[in-house]
Amino acid sequence: MGAVAEFLGVVLMGGGVARAVKEGFVVLDLYADTPIFLSLGMFATLAAAALWLLVSTYAQLPVSTTHSVVGGLVGFALLTKGSIALKAGFFSNVALSWVLSPALGAAASFAILKIINSLIFDAGDRGATLRARRYLPPINAATAWIMALFIAYKGLPNLGYYLSSAQALGASALIAAAVWALSLIGVLPAGRGNGLGKTVSASLPITLDGSAHGAAENAFVPLLVVTALLVAFAHGSNDVSNGVGCLLVMREVAEHGRLLTAADVSPPIPSWIMVMGGLSISAGLLALGARVMATMGSRITKLTPSRGFAAQLATSTTVLLATALNMPVSSTHTMVGAVTGLALASRGSAADINYGTIKKIVVSWVITLPIGAVTTLVIFYLLKALFYTSG
């Protein structure tokens, strides 16, 4: 299910970020006389990012695909053409978003968990179960509204369906109302006992107990699954597009033998490229995703279904908002920020945070940019020596 959600995120919403990566970081016109030179650099960037992500995944470190690709692009541009090849304004905005996205993730998860605790869990064990039945229908509806709004506003245009803002808001509101109604009549889970909680919790790094409080937590498991899929959708819509942006440059050079100029009609992104990106991230998730999931799920702070739901809703909303703005951000950074926000919301202090894990993650973040740059340059010059002989 997660692999399918990743795939849909790439295909439905990944195009805007892919174009931003293709055109936003490097002044492509400087390579107009040597397009193959640029194409080799893009390939080297992708190869370097893939190598570093494989190494970090094996080490169970949640590093950023975005940082890896951007580090490679910046290193390539600076060393081959100097600072004039780098679009400093766009890079500065992206760098700022890397700071803001985990902060927003932390703030959003903090607020969501505080609201959940206030509405449900502060009522005591028996009261929590009763309140879960009362408040989960509107929580279900709010989650559905967020998912539907982003898909209607940014996803459908990629399929040729264009809605105005009012139409997107109206359609998503109707879907949210339907989910609310279905939750009230029991068609959708909303605080009532079911076997899904025990089944899912057996395979997720979350904690349930046998008390009435645990029964209220159990009611959040369906939402935990839904928001996990929403995070996968958001991740596909943003992170995968970084690699697709580099691939677009390579495809342009291969197809036209040159870089397209402002006088050319900008072609649409071929659907096969987005499909290939979606299939690749889905395969990676199935093959190696569990290693990083373990770190995110249990090694930063203790997670319960309600806390996991808060972190995932905060992460997916933040990343999808960035995708809607065509801004490449790090889903990984956002999720780590959101999980950290949970610890602060649950105890009002940082006592529940595993600082050893946080330290390792931050170090891996810091070194990702320079590793991406250096590895890209090594691969680029090897490729240049092998294949690029003129000039």
Q: What is the pLDDT of residues 79-115, one digit of tens each?
A: 999 999 989 888 888 888 888 999 999 999 999 999 9
Contact 192, 219 (CB under 8 A): yes
Q: Rounded to whole angstroms, how far apart are CA atoms 54 and 65?
A: 11
Q: Rounded to whole angstroms, how far apart are CA atoms 374 and 97?
A: 23
pLDDT-based confidence at 242, cuts 50/70/90?
confident
Positive or negative: CA dihedral 51, 59, 10, 245: negative
Share of the chain above pLDDT 70, in %: 85
Average pLDDT, the chain: 82
Give me the pLDDT at residue 44, please.
Answer: 96
pLDDT-based confidence at 198, cuts 50/70/90?
very low
* Mean pLDDT along residues 191-219: 54
Q: Decide which of 224 and 360 is more confident.
A: 224
Which of 29-33, 184-188, 219-223, 327-331 is least confident?
184-188
Share of the chain above pLDDT 90, in %: 21
Q: Nearest Cα to 40, choosing from 381, 390, 389?
A: 381
**Domain locations in the chain as residue ranges:** 2-260+269-387
The highest-confidence range among 163-167, 186-190, 203-207, by mean pLDDT, is: 163-167
User: Which distant-in-sequence residues (6+ apart) come within 8 Å of 34 by Cβ?
Assistant: 391
Return the axis-axis angle of helices 221-256 and 15-24, rounded to nearest 10°: 50
User: Which distant-in-sequence residues (6+ apart) come within 8 Å of 257 by Cβ?
Assistant: 35
Q: Nearest Cα to 225, choosing from 291, 168, 140?
A: 140
